[in-house]
């Protein structure tokens, strides 16, 4: 399980990366995060993150049909979201490489 403080640090980046692949709704994004092994993200964490992306102009919502039940709110990445994703992905890679270099001497099981 991903520690909660870590999750808050990279959730927006993960959501933008998934929205780059295709538009999706909240529960679908949650399932994709879990399937990728990132984390099981509760709605109380996921939906504020989606709202934040929307308010920042990085994702745009639209309503679409559901195969079961009411309409769903789908999110799609915007041009600004793509720019932020590209920049943050580079930042993440540099950070990850730095942490990996520090941990390389630590024995693992």
Where do the domains of the chain lie, and which CATH numbers do they carry?
Answer: 4-103 (1.10.10.10)
Reduce the DSSP state of residue 80 to 3 states and report it. helix
85, 16 in Cβ contact below 8 A? yes
Which pLDDT belongs to residue 100? 93
* Residue 12's pLDDT band (cuts 50, 70, 90): very high
57, 78 in Cβ contact below 8 A? yes
16, 53 in Cβ contact below 8 A? yes
Which pLDDT belongs to residue 108? 78
pLDDT digits (tens, 9 = 90+) for 90-107: 999 999 999 999 999 888
Which pLDDT belongs to residue 39? 86
What phi and psi, each to the nearest 5 degrees, are found at residue 56? -85, -5
Q: In what order do the strands lie in the sheet with 24-25?
A: 24-25, 72-77, 59-64
pLDDT digits (tens, 9 = 90+) for 33-71: 999 998 889 999 999 999 999 999 999 999 998 888 889
Which pLDDT belongs to residue 65? 87
Region 73-101 average pLDDT: 96
């Amino acid at each position: 399980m991903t520690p909660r403080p870590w999750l808050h640090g990279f959730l927006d980046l993960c959501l933008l990366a998934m929205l780059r692949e295709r538009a999706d709704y909240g529960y679908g994004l949650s399932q994709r995060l879990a399937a990728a092994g990132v984390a099981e993200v509760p709605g109380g964490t996921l939906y504020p993150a989606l709202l934040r992306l929307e308010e920042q102009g990085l994702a745009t919502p639209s309503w679409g049909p559901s195969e079961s039940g009411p309409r769903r709110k789908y999110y799609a990445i915007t041009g600004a979201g793509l720019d932020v994703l590209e920049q943050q992905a580079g930042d993440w890679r540099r950070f990850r490489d730095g942490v990996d270099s520090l941990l390389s001497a630590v024995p693992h099981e």
